[in-house]
Amino acid sequence: MSARANILNKLRTSLAGTTPRPDEFDESLVTGPWRYPPEERIARLRELMEAVHTEVHQTSEGDWPARVAELLAKREITNLLYAPATPHGEQLARAWKGEAGRPALRVYDRPVEEWKAELFNDVQASVTGTLGGIAATGSLVLWPDRNEPRLMSLVPPVHIALLKASAIHDNWYNMMTDQNWAAGLPSNALLVSGPSKTADIEQVLAYGAHGPKELIVLILEDV
Amino acid sequence: MNQRIPVTELTSDFKGRAREALADSQLRSNFRTAMDSLMRKRADAFSDEDEREGLRELGNHIRARSLSNLPDLLEQLETRLTANGIKVHWAETVEEANEIVHGLIEAHDGRQVVKGKSMVSEEMEMNDYLADRDIECLESDMGEYIVQLDNEKPSHIIMPAIHKNARQVSALFNEKLGEHVSEDVDELIQTGRRILRRKFLEADVGVSGVNFAIAETGTLLLVENEGNGRMSTTSPPVHIAVTGIEKVVSNLRDVVPLVSLLTRSALGQPITTYVNLISGPRKPDELDGPEEVHLVLLDNGRTGAFTDAQMRQTLNCIRCGACMNHCPVYTRVGGHTYGEVYPGPIGKIVTPHMVGLDQVPDHPSASSLCGACGEVCPVKIPIPELLQRLRQENVQAPGHEPVSVKGAGSKYSRKERLMWRAWVMLNTRPAFYKLFLWGATRFRALAPKKAGPWTENHSAPVPAARSLHDLARDHLKNSDILGEKS
Ligand code: SF4
């Protein structure tokens, strides 16, 4: 018999005569303590994200491309990976057009195999959108897709994420049920709650383990 | 690649290794400092007791509910994963699991494997298995990387290299990598980052564990802080996840409380830096992610633990490590003393089902039964109760049926059994007891000078000249406490 059949048989034999337990999920336990008045959501998310070395800025729909330029200039970053086919990508390209001294814009437009070394070795920063944020845990929600593939938010040492204030939810549970995630998840969904880090040596916290060394969140307050 | 030196060959048994560890003051201070800080962080993360207890109750409910329906859930998981394009494999033993993994790597002519942290792959000793077949399998979690570099096993399930301090890691990097790095933790981590980034770029296959497998959506959920888990599961063209059959939960929403319990119990973090939900390989229109995703479901003794309703609770475990962080024995002897993949309280209750109780006969008794592990366990596994059960299984008489733990009865001794029989007789029959007292007080000089392991560290007990009963009787006679003379 196959391993599969053996394992399932053994489990079924052990359960003979029993019935599965009913589902007694008490959702108040994961929502009750994690609700915030709308005006406090940004502050809560900010506090938690900053506690783990995320740089958070509050800006507006119109101003963020200039903000990005400023942040990159300060770091002497000369190229930026962006997604031209997204509304925010389009906006960035439009705003930067003709401006002097802007970092070179790079595009993730080929399968990764065709430019993996370049992505790993040359790209200095990326800017992506987010599906939303979670106030309870200070998290960004990313659903990578063709325009903003999975590695775009992972490989470049600096990741800039755009977060609409209106997309900040109280807690993960409410977000996933409101949006009915169970009906269909993308091939990869992520909660990101800071730059990569490790405490594996003597429990001393060090940032920039394998993913981005810096995570910069721009909260667009008017959308 | 160098072969690991199995810890068991250095010193043969738990007691010997414990003695060595206790004499190593550096090791003891490394553990003490780390465990104190982990306990503090957990306490801070659960500042509201009612909230914590409610959530633990829910965590227990979810795990128990999943196990009560495990075979159906596994089938549902398989159906969903398959529909999502993830191939599912089943393995009863670690040999089978290794063969499956090796076969998949061979099918892609893989030579370089990069691995995210996975305790199940430790059970399989996958690194050694692949190294023997000329495949490099590199650990990418910083702690695991350090441990692998030193040919060691992890000493903690969450913090594999917690037994080393920065000075020791720096010496190791200098020796093994020829890298001259200081003892500065940032510098050490940046060195690891640089070396491993190249590996992520080059690797043919990525291997990872799974924290929760969600049957409803066909999703593998992984939590981590470093980003190596995302790298291992995203960058190489093939991703192979390995996990135990118990890791499945019914619904997507079930992971909300479980992730919160896991990250807060393990490290005191409200959430880890990354929560990675994988529900399929790269879709035709996508530009990255692995072309193939595989899941290997491993039994390795879990169906054995499952047969017994009490022992089944060991499968609730979400591998947070809180039980070891709070264990007075673990803190003093460290993880390597246990000589097995899973150390500490959780190791003591899961290892017997994997390797047989006769291989780890001292595990159940290496506990003061203080109860701390059971109190902190986020899914409420009654660890002390299970340890007591294992102590009984350990001394089961030969021929005892049914056998619920592999290798039970290895500590059975006829002599000990007879002694306890005699003890019961003495203490349940007054006539015998009186006779014994009379003899013990009269012939006290003849009391044995050696009483087994007791007299290794204590002086031998000598009966008093007169028994307490006797003294009490006298005392009552000489006083007017009974009030008869008034
Ligand atoms: S037994 Fe409980 S406390 Fe110990 S690792 Fe498992 S879940 Fe955590």
- What is the ipTM for the molecules in this complex? 0.96
Q: Choosing among A201, A204, A205, which should be mutated to test the B contact, i.e. which has the most B CBs within 10 A?
A: A201
How many C-beta atoms lie closer than 10 Å to residue B342's C-beta? 23
Q: With respect to residue A70, please indicate whether it lies within any of the assigned structural domains.
A: yes
Give me A162's structure tokens. 């755009």
**Domain termination residue (choose one: B260, B282, B305):** B305
How many C-beta atoms lie closer than 10 Å to residue B90's C-beta? 22
pLDDT of residue B479: 77
Q: Which residue has the tokens 């609770």?
A: B313
Q: How far apart are CA A119 and CA A116, in angstroms?
A: 5
Burial class (CB in 10 A: 0-12, 13-18, 19+), B320: buried
Residue A6 and residue B92: Cβ atoms within 8 Å? Answer: yes
Give me B114's structure tokens. 């990069």
Q: With respect to residue A33, please indicate whether it lies within any of the assigned structural domains.
A: no
Sign of the alpha-carbon dihedral angle for B93, B98, B100, B103: negative
Give me B415's structure tokens. 């002599």
Residue nearest to atom 7 of ligand 1 (CA): B317
For helices B414-428 and B430-442, the axis angle rounded to 10 degrees is 110
On average, the pLDDT of chain A sits at: 96
Amino acid at residue number A40: E
Q: Are residues B113 and B239 in the same domain?
A: yes
Distance from CA of B201 to the nearest CA of A (A): 7
Q: With respect to residue A10, please indicate whether it lies within any of the assigned structural domains.
A: no
CATH number for the domain that contains residue A69: 3.40.50.10420
Measuring CA to CA, how many Å separate B483 from each of A110, B326, B470, B476? 102, 53, 20, 10
Whether the CB-CB separation of A132 and A178 falls below 8 Å is answered with no
Q: Are residues B294 and B422 in the same domain?
A: no
Structural domains of chain B, count? 2
Q: With respect to residue B56, please indicate whether it lies within any of the assigned structural domains.
A: yes
Whether the CB-CB separation of B15 and B362 falls below 8 Å is answered with yes
Judging contacts by C-beta atoms under 8 Å, the chain B residues touching residue A199 are: 159, 225, 267
Q: Choosing among B225, B285, B299, B302, which should be mutated to test the A contact, i.e. which has the most A CBs within 10 A?
A: B225
Ligand 1 contact, B322 CB (< 6 A): yes
Measuring CA to CA, how many Å separate B428 from each of A9, B432, B433, B435, B469? 47, 8, 8, 13, 16
pLDDT surpasses 80 at A209: yes
Burial class (CB in 10 A: 0-12, 13-18, 19+), A183: exposed
Q: Write down the pTM of the prediction.
A: 0.92
Tell me the residue range of the domain where B418 lies: 414-485
Sign of the alpha-carbon dihedral angle for B232, B238, B239, B242: negative
Once rounded to an integer, what is the mean pLDDT over residues A78-93? 97
Q: With respect to residue A117, please indicate whether it lies within any of the assigned structural domains.
A: yes
Q: Are residues B273 and B421 in the same domain?
A: no
CATH number for the domain that contains residue B68: 3.40.50.10420
| Inter-chain CB pairs, A–B, below 8 Å | 256
| Residue (of A21, A11, A29) closest to B63 by Cα position | A21
Q: With respect to residue B360, please indicate whether it lies within any of the assigned structural domains.
A: no
Give me A170's structure tokens. 């109280």
**Longest alpha-carbon distance in chain A:** 75
Residue A197 and residue B273: Cβ atoms within 8 Å? Answer: yes
Distance from CA of A42 to the nearest CA of B (A): 17
Q: Which residue has the tokens 């903000």?
A: A67
Q: With respect to residue A56, please indicate whether it lies within any of the assigned structural domains.
A: yes
**Domain termination residue (choose one: B255, B285, B305):** B305
pLDDT of residue B1: 40
CA of residue B302 to ligand 1 center, whole Å: 16
pLDDT of residue B482: 56
Q: How far apart are CA B55 and CA A26, in angstroms?
A: 9
Residue A150 and residue B237: Cβ atoms within 8 Å? Answer: no
Long-range CB pairs of B409-414, under 8 A, 24+ apart, other chains included: B409/B358, B410/B357, B410/B358, B410/B361, B411/B361
| B6 sits in which H/E element | none
Strands (E), B215-357: 219-224, 238-244, 248-249, 274-278, 292-298
Judging contacts by C-beta atoms under 8 Å, the chain A residues touching residue B142 are: 198, 200-201, 209
B31, B36, B42, B48 alpha-carbon torsion, rounded to 10°: 160
What phi, psi does B272 have (nearest 5°)?
A: -80, 165
DSSP class of residue B298? E
Tell me the residue range of the domain where A133 lies: 38-221
Give me A152's structure tokens. 């775009």
Q: With respect to residue B350, please indicate whether it lies within any of the assigned structural domains.
A: no
Structural domains of chain A, count? 1
What phi, psi does B106 have (nearest 5°)?
A: -60, -40
Amino acid at residue number A199: A
Judging contacts by C-beta atoms under 8 Å, the chain B residues touching residue A117 are: 201
Q: How far apart are CA A59 and CA B158, in angstroms?
A: 38
Q: With respect to residue B125, please indicate whether it lies within any of the assigned structural domains.
A: yes
Q: How far apart are CA B416 and CA B409, in angstroms?
A: 13
Secondary structure of B217-232 in the HEC alphabet? CCEEEEEECCCHHHHH
Ligand 1 contact, B258 CB (< 6 A): no
Ligand 1 contact, B327 CB (< 6 A): no
Question: For residue B451, what are the contacts with CB-CB under 8 A and spacing of at least 6?
Answer: B460, B461
pLDDT of residue B486: 43
Q: With respect to residue B322, please indicate whether it lies within any of the assigned structural domains.
A: no
Once rounded to an integer, what is the mean pLDDT over residues A38-49? 96
Low-confidence residues of chain B: pLDDT under 50: 1-9, 485-486
pLDDT in tens, A179-194: 999 999 999 999 999 9
